[in-house]
């Protein structure tokens, strides 16, 4: 992964790793293919290094930075970005916006807390990885995708949100409840809603 040292154009979605719980390296390894900018929260630095991933930014509190100063040399050209009150998500996203990244994969973020991302949604595209699913937002109320036979997805939105689902099985109006799972037939499925919602797919 040391080819990682050339200048980046910020075109590839960045990777922000907050937790690795329940995830195997192979599941998100394809994201690394185009050498994205990689930000890592202090609690998972050792795990990420053990996977051979080259880290660009470590999000860390001052005490961690002082105790792990050696990482600046061992992982050169890594840098620390200071974090206070454990707010790794906010600091990571603000750093990416400031460095003009337009998209990010957030690894290890609980999908139940996507409402906290609202302020950032207009500024960048996001995909959330909450093992074992990957969630992507449908911002403009309509989405169409071809699914293979036996696909299972989760629809996530505030409880009581209505989403219309149209596919070869027919048309169904679904009222979102906690963990609304759907089995889909082979073919194109269309989704319509009046507000933002998220689709979770197994990875």
Residue with tokens 């916006």: 97
How does pLDDT run across 97-114, given as a tens digit for each residue? 999 999 999 999 999 999
The helix (H) or strand (E) run that includes residue 182 is strand 180-184
DSSP line for 64-123: HHHHTTTHHHHTTT-EEEE-STT-HHHHHHHHHHHTT--EEEEES--GGGGGGGHHHHTT
pLDDT of residue 12: 85
Question: Of 51, 37, 28, which is closest to residue 132 (Cα–Cα)?
Answer: 28
Query: What mean pLDDT comes out for the span 43-69?
Result: 96
* Domain residue ranges in the chain: 2-131, 138-202
Question: Of 145, 156, 135, which is closest to residue 191 (Cα–Cα)?
Answer: 145
Query: What mean pLDDT comes out for the span 174-196?
Result: 94
CATH number belonging to domain 138-202: 2.60.120
What pTM, to 2 d.p., does this model score? 0.91
**What's the fold here for domain 2-131?**
Rossmann fold (3.40.50)
pLDDT of residue 203: 86
């Amino acid at each position: 992964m040391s080819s990682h040292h050339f200048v980046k154009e910020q075109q590839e979605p960045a990777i922000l790793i907050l937790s690795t719980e329940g995830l195997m390296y192979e599941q998100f390894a394809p994201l690394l293919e185009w050498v994205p900018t990689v930000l890592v929260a202090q609690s998972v630095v050792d795990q990420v290094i053990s996977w051979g991933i080259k880290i660009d930014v470590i999000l860390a509190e001052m005490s961690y930075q002082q105790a792990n100063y050696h990482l600046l040399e061992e992982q050169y050209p890594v840098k620390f970005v200071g974090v206070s009150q454990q707010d790794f998500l906010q600091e990571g996203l603000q750093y990416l916006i400031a460095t003009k990244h337009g998209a990010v994969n957030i690894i290890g973020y609980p999908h139940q807390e996507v409402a906290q991302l609202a302020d950032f949604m207009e500024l960048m595209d996001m995909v959330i990885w909450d093992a074992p699913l990957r969630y992507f937002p449908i911002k403009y109320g309509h989405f169409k995708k071809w699914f293979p036979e036996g696909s299972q997805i989760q629809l996530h939105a505030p409880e009581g949100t209505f989403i219309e689902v149209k596919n070869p099985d027919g048309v169904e109006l679904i009222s979102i409840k906690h963990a609304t799972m759907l089995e889909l037939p082979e073919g194109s499925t269309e989704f319509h809603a009046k507000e933002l919602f998220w689709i979770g797919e197994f990875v």
